[in-house]
Structures are given as structure tokens and as C-alpha cells.
Amino acid sequence: MSLISKNRLSKMMLDTLLEMPPGSSKLKEQVVARLEFIGRMSATRDINDAWNQTKKNAAKLHADKFILDERNILHWNDGSISPLDKNISTANFKKLNDLADVENCSVDKMVSKLIRMYSKEKKK
């Protein structure tokens, strides 16, 4: 039986996270330590579930302060980390695959070639 619900624990974690000074490292450990008694008495499973929910909420509700990277790690949004744009339209993806087939190489190598060509053109 848990001491407190996961949703309440997540809310408490988010409130604690917002009170931390910008640039703090090891966010999860610091948040759990600042929860004191509740952090020590909660099950590890509950803490992990609440932390995952807290990370998503922090990145969504406070995007000016936090960013969630592609590995689902929460970082301070200080401008040093920019999220990767992984979206490509279906039409462009098909064109890229067709071009890679014509050039007899993988899509990854084709993208590398295109980037090199773009960089060379830009330097001129």
C-alpha cells in the first residue's frame, strides 16, 4: 500500500522541481531528497512512475524552463540543447528512398552526401 498516490507525488515533485535553482544537476535525486519523509517512504516503483509523469508535465507546462530530450531525460532549457526534428513527410521520405536507390546507397549515406553538398554550396 502506498503512502501517497502517484498523481499527488508527481504534483509534489513538480512543485519541488520548480523551486530548484536553474542549472541544478541530478534533478531526480535532488527532488526526491527534498521530499524528505515522503520520498524515503514511497516505493521505488511509485517514485519512478511519478518522476516520469513529472518530467512530461514539466516539459509540457513549463517549456520555458525545462526540455525533454529524445532519450526522455529532463534538462534545463538554457538554450544549450535543442530538440531534434525527426518529422519528415511521407512524400519526402519516399523521394529520399528513391534517390538513395538511384545512387545505390543507404538513405543515411544519401543524407550525408546532401548535407556535404549543401555545405559546399553555402561556402561559395
What confidence tens digit (pLDDT) does each residue in 52-61 have? 999 999 988 9
Instruction: Tell me if 103 is assigned to some domain.
Output: yes
Q: Could you tell me if 58 and 98 lie in one domain?
A: no
Q: Could you tell me if 18 and 46 lie in one domain?
A: yes
Instruction: Tell me if 52 is assigned to some domain.
Output: yes
Q: Could you tell me if 12 and 72 lie in one domain?
A: yes
Instruction: List strand residue ranges (DSSP E) for 1-124, in order.
Output: 66-68, 74-76
Q: In angstroms, rounded to a whole number, what is the distance separating the alpha carbons of residues 46 and 59?
A: 20
Q: Could you tell me if 71 and 104 lie in one domain?
A: no
Q: Name the band, by pLDDT with cuts 50, 70 and 90, for residue 35.
A: confident
Q: Sign of the C-alpha dihedral, residues 42, 43, 48, 53?
A: negative
Q: What is the pTM of this model?
A: 0.64
Q: In angstroms, rounded to a whole number, what is the distance separating the alpha carbons of residues 99 and 58?
A: 41
Instruction: Tell me if 115 is assigned to some domain.
Output: yes
Decide: 3 and 38 in contact? Cβ < 8 Å.
yes
Please tell me the total count of domains within the chain: 2
Q: Could you tell me if 57 and 19 lie in one domain?
A: yes
pLDDT for residue 1 is more than 60: no
Q: In angstroms, rounded to a whole number, what is the distance separating the alpha carbons of residues 88 and 11?
A: 35
Give the range of the structural domain holding residue 97, as residue numbers without chain letter.
90-123
